[in-house]
Copies of this chain bind each other. A is one copy, B any other.
Amino acid sequence: MRTTITDAREAVAAVKDGDTVLVGGFGMAGMPVELIDALIEHGAGDLTIVSNNAGNGDTGLAALLAAGRVRKMICSFPRQTDSWVFDGLYRAGKIELEVVPQGNLAERMRAAGAGIGAFFCPTGAGTMLTEGKETRVIDGREYVLEYPIHGDVALIRAHVADRLGNLVYRKTARNFGPVMATAATVTVAQVSSIVEIGSLDPECVVTPSIYVNTLVEVPR
């Protein structure tokens, strides 16, 4: 359905208490900082956050964690030199953590967006991260059955959108954005600029408008 163009505050109103929220970015590249700030202000809590990292410094995702809004983190790499907010909550037993290999994190969201019910993946076979999961040997190789990760809302950052909702990204800031856009019921994209329909090259659109519900322009 038609993509809405609005401000960050209105855009994140789609998030409800208890939701699973997919948050784009790899470190700061592609991190939708202004959307996260709006989410903090919005006040929704008891959230499950799916993101590669678990917050850096005291802003963005770290601030959301510090505000006590997050019940569980699903991520590949929570521990960083500047992840003191997460570290503190985790050691205090105030947050749940599911560590997922980075590629499985991406592929499980891809599965959610692509209507795949589950998939056999070799990553992590025989390691403690897949303990208790169903395994199967296929053609002599061990695979682990992995399930989709759906989001209620995805908050991502892209580079340019057209008014229809088509997105292009910039360099490695692309990272999780295109996958998360497919995996959530509602996708909110923060972009540096919104251009007229017809301004983007159809050969170069990375996220087609069908995946984007809401656009928020945040000039950079």
Contacts and interface: CB of A to CB of B under 8 A. Distances in A.
Contacts of A84: none
A93 interface: no
Contacts of A176: none
A118 B120 contact: yes
Interface string A92-129: 00000000000000010001001111111110000000
Interface stretch (A135-143, A184-192, A210-218): A135-143
A194 interface: no
In the complex this chain forms, how many copies of it are found? 2
B115 A138 contact: no
A134 to B, nearest CB: 10
A196 interface: no
A93 to B, nearest CB: 30
A120 B119 contact: yes
B120 A143 contact: no
Instruction: List 7 A-B pairs, minimum CB-CB distance, nearest first.
Output: A117-B120, A117-B143, A117-B138, A204-B204, A119-B119, A118-B120, A116-B119
Contacts of A86: none
Contacts of A143: 117-118
Nearest to A115: B122
